[in-house]
């Protein structure tokens, strides 16, 4: 027989097999299952740390096999991908090689549909060099950086795989696919799975090479600058061209929406333009692709709507301090501690996001006229620092009217949050030096004084002392000042002079959504266009984006009449 059992042990007991066996036998006996005289074997299914109530404990969930050999606990992952020919009957153009695009491509291959992936950034190996130059030279390549390039924004910023999106798809399958392509199999059992920024690029490379071996295509350094649309009368043209748009009125959201036939791309190295055509377009461009939002605002403004997002700062402490707070001074050989904080200040949420234990703060600007910060951790999570974004909920009604008016000139007020976000990123740049970020000790921020010195930081471009409260919008700064004392009540010692605020953290999510039909998953204003992932406003991380891309790819296969 087979039975799932959860036991609780101390950290020093985790590897004690004799103790584990006795605890499992006791738990089984309490459920009326006798093990005396019977053989038992067990397989770890999930591990989580519980540091509440002043004592660190591990919760371990096992599948126990009584009088039988231990077998696979999860349904064994069996790849079902098919090879496609160069002249495949079905072809889908995928814009963006992030998790939504890659997992969308893998799902299409299950049906024998050819994926053609368009990416404006570089492959991972070349992207590493572009990212290094942000720190060493203060140089930002607008097409290849922490946000843009093969694998998307997650490739070089951590590789966290934890999600609460249990109803959006098959989370275990996503983890199994990552493990299949080279991720540590620990991700299958850890409560908060994490690949690590130094390992995820290799996994992404393996996925790319596999898709190519199956007949899929990758085109790097190709920025999408237009859609190729067919109007309701059958006429086709490039949507972004004003003359063509006048002949394809459906592009403006009329009752007869146009159908996308493909995309027009510009080679970012040569400037040459070309077209990629397909039976559908899967749009997974990420939360920083301003060009796509602008294109949609010009050609299909009804496809965009404003949404809530969040902005704030990245807060960095010493790892030792956070570990001590979370583990009540008993760190031992435990992994770096995580935390999650949230409170309400004047009707808006203030909360931690993308917490990076034993990690680094990194420069995530996607153009040279801004400063944006983010966080990441290597697989070992063993740096001397721990950091997290602390951000303030920002609703459409919080956007100053001047940005709403400016957005309307682009074609839709839905882009007001995007313009506001860009303004804050440029404002941050004005208070920094190159990519050196404006920063302030947390206690000085509360007291409204410039820090006379700053603590050592993991942020390699460097820090510049600045009174953040004097220039960050009050909507953000005043709520942060109110939230930090509340967080200190939850984690005594969190508010301290050694904690440093690094500005600005602005890209936790996109400020606008590309609206799609709930059932068909098509864009409401352009047929055969399937917006997916974080940039389209339907996901919040690697796993949820991967599931979203796969789900829409499934719908494409259904519409095209393909079967597995």
DSSP conformation letters of 240-288: TSHHHHHH-GGGGT-SS--EEEEEEEEETTT--EEEEE-SEEEE---TT
CA distances from 498 to 321, 391, 441, 442 (A): 9, 20, 7, 8
Is residue 7 within a helix (H) or strand (E), and if so which, with residue range? strand 2-9
Round to whole Å and give the CA distance between 403 and 254: 26
Q: What does the block give as tokens for 73?
A: 């606990």
Instruction: Give the mean model confidence (pLDDT) for residues 468-477.
Output: 97
**For residue 225, what pLDDT is reported?**
97
Which residues make Cβ contacts (< 8 Å) with residue 520, sequence separation at least 6? 555, 559
Instruction: Give the mean model confidence (pLDDT) for residues 441-448.
Output: 98
Name which residue leads in pLDDT, 167 or 556.
556
Round to whole Å and give the CA distance between 506 and 540: 14
**For residue 153, what pLDDT is reported?**
86
> For residue 299, how many other CB atoms are within 10 A of its CB?
27
**What's the pLDDT band for 74 if we cut at 50, 70, 90?**
low
pLDDT exceeds 60 at position 93: yes
pLDDT exceeds 70 at position 245: no
Instruction: Give the mean model confidence (pLDDT) for residues 188-211.
Output: 91
**For residue 2, what pLDDT is reported?**
87
- Tell me the range of 197-201, 285-289, 384-388 where mean pLDDT is highest: 384-388
CA distances from 81 to 96, 219, 279 (A): 20, 21, 20
Which residues on adjacent β-strands are paired with residue 275?
A: 264
**For residue 190, what pLDDT is reported?**
87
pLDDT exceeds 60 at position 250: no
pLDDT exceeds 60 at position 252: no
pLDDT digits (tens, 9 = 90+) for 282-309: 999 999 999 999 999 999 999 999 999 9
pLDDT digits (tens, 9 = 90+) for 332-367: 678 899 999 999 999 999 999 999 999 999 999 999
Round to whole Å and give the CA distance between 315 and 500: 6
Round to whole Å and give the CA distance between 244 and 228: 10
**For residue 239, what pLDDT is reported?**
59
Name which residue leads in pLDDT, 208 or 2.
208
**What's the pLDDT band for 244 if we cut at 50, 70, 90?**
very low
**What's the pLDDT band for 540 if we cut at 50, 70, 90?**
confident
Q: What does the block give as tokens for 144?
A: 């290849």
Strand ranges for 149-271 from DSSP E: 217-219, 222-230, 236-238, 259-267
Nearest CA among 127, 125, 117, 126 for reference residue 97:
117
85-94, 170-179, 367-376, 428-437, range with the lowest pLDDT = 85-94
Instruction: Give the mean model confidence (pLDDT) for residues 205-231.
Output: 95
pTM: 0.89
42-56, 388-402, 478-492, 547-561, range with the lowest pLDDT = 42-56
At residue 210, the 3 state secondary structure works out as helix
**For residue 243, what pLDDT is reported?**
33
Instruction: Give the mean model confidence (pLDDT) for residues 28-51.
Output: 88
142-146, 195-199, 240-244, range with the lowest pLDDT = 240-244
**What's the pLDDT band for 45 if we cut at 50, 70, 90?**
confident
**For residue 163, what pLDDT is reported?**
79
**Inter-residue contact 269 to 221 (CB < 8 Å):** yes
CA distances from 215 to 82, 108, 281, 505 (A): 9, 12, 18, 39
Round to whole Å and give the CA distance between 27 and 493: 38
pLDDT exceeds 70 at position 170: yes
**For residue 78, what pLDDT is reported?**
81
Buried b (16+ CB within 10 A) or exposed e, 490-504: ebeebbeeebbbbbb
Round to whole Å and give the CA distance between 33 and 360: 48
Is residue 393 within a helix (H) or strand (E), and if so which, with residue range? strand 385-394
Find the DSSP H helices in 250-409: 290-299, 319-326, 401-408
Q: Whole-angstrom distance between the N-terminal and C-terminal Cα of the chain? A: 34
**For residue 240, what pLDDT is reported?**
53
Instruction: Give the mean model confidence (pLDDT) for residues 85-94.
Output: 82
pLDDT exceeds 60 at position 251: no
pLDDT exceeds 70 at position 72: no
**For residue 202, what pLDDT is reported?**
94
pLDDT exceeds 80 at position 165: no
pLDDT exceeds 80 at position 435: yes
Is residue 484 within a helix (H) or strand (E), and if so which, with residue range? helix 474-490
Round to whole Å and give the CA distance between 92 and 553: 9
Instruction: Give the mean model confidence (pLDDT) for residues 270-279.
Output: 96
Round to whole Å and give the CA distance between 185 and 193: 10
Buried b (16+ CB within 10 A) or exposed e, 62-91: bbbbbeeeeeebeeeeeeebeebeeebebb
51-55, 72-76, 536-540, range with the lowest pLDDT = 72-76
CA distances from 442 to 314, 437, 446 (A): 11, 15, 6
**For residue 254, what pLDDT is reported?**
43
For the chain, the average pLDDT equals: 91
CA distances from 535 to 95, 185, 421, 539 (A): 11, 29, 14, 8
pLDDT exceeds 70 at position 130: yes
- To the nearest whole percent, how much of the chain has pLDDT over 90? 75
């Amino acid at each position: 027989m087979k039975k799932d059992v959860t036991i609780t042990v101390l950290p020093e007991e985790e590897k004690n097999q004799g103790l584990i066996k006795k605890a499992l036998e006791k738990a089984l006996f309490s459920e009326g299952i006798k093990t005396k005289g019977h053989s038992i074997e067990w397989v770890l299914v999930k591990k989580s740390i519980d540091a509440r109530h002043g004592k660190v404990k591990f919760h371990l969930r096992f599948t126990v096999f009584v009088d039988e050999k231990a077998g696979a606990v999860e349904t064994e992952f069996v790849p079902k991908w098919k090879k496609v020919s160069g002249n495949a009957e079905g072809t889908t153009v995928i814009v963006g090689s992030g998790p939504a695009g890659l997992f969308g491509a893998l799902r299409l291959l299950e049906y024998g549909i050819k994926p053609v992936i368009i990416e404006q950034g570089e492959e991972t190996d070349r992207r590493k060099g572009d990212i290094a130059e942000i720190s060493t030279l203060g140089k930002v390549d607008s097409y290849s950086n922490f946000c843009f390039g093969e694998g998307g924004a997650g490739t070089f910023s951590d590789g966290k795989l934890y999600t609460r999106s249990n109803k959006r798809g098959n989370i275990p399958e996503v983890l199994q696919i990552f493990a299949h392509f080279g991720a540590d199999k620990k991700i299958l059992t850890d409560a908060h799975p994490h690949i690590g920024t130094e390992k995820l690029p290799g996994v992404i490379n393996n996925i790319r090479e596999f898709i190519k071996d199956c007949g899929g295509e990758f085109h790097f350094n190709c920025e999408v600058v237009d859609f190729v649309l067919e109007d309701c009368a059958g006429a086709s043209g490039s949507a972004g061209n004003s003359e063509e748009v006048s002949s394809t009125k459906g592009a403006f959201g009329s009752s007869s929406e146009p159908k996308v036939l493909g995309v027009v791309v510009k080679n970012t190295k040569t400037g040459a333009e070309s077209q990629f055509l397909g039976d559908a377009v899967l749009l997974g461009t990420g939360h920083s692709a301003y060009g796509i939002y602008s294109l949609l605002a010009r050609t299909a403004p009804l496809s965009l709507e404003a949404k809530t997002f969040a902005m704030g700062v990245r807060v960095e402490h010493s790892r030792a301090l956070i570990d001590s707070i979370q583990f009540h001074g008993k760190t031992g050989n435990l992994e770096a501690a995580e935390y999650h904080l949230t409170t309400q200040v004047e009707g808006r949420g203030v909360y931690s996001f993308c917490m990076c234990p034993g990690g680094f703060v990194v420069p995530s600007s996607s153009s040279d006229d801004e400063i944006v910060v983010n966080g990441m951790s290597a697989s070992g999570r063993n740096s001397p620092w721990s950091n997290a974004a602390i951000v303030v909920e920002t609703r459409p009604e919080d956007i100053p009217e001047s940005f709403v008016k400016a957005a309307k000139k682009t074609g839709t007020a839905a882009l007001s949050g995007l313009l506001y976000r860009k303004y804050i990123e440029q404002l941050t740049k004005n208070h920094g030096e190159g990519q050196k970020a404006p920063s302030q000790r947390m206690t000085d921020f509360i007291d409204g004084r410039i820090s006379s010195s700053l603590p050592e930081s993991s942020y390699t471009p460097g820090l510049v002392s600045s009174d953040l409260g004097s220039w960050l919008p009050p909507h953000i700064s005043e709520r942060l000042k109110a939230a930090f004392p509340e967080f200190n009540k939850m984690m005594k010692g969190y508010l301290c002079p050694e904690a440093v605020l690094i500005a600005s953290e602005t890209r936790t999510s996109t400020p606008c959504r590309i609206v799609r039909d709930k059932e068909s998953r098509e864009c409401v204003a352009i047929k055969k266009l399937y917006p997916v992932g974080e940039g389209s406003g339907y996901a919040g991380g690697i796993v949820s984006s991967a599931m979203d891309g796969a789900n829409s790819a499934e719908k494409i296969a259904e519409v095209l009449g393909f079967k597995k």
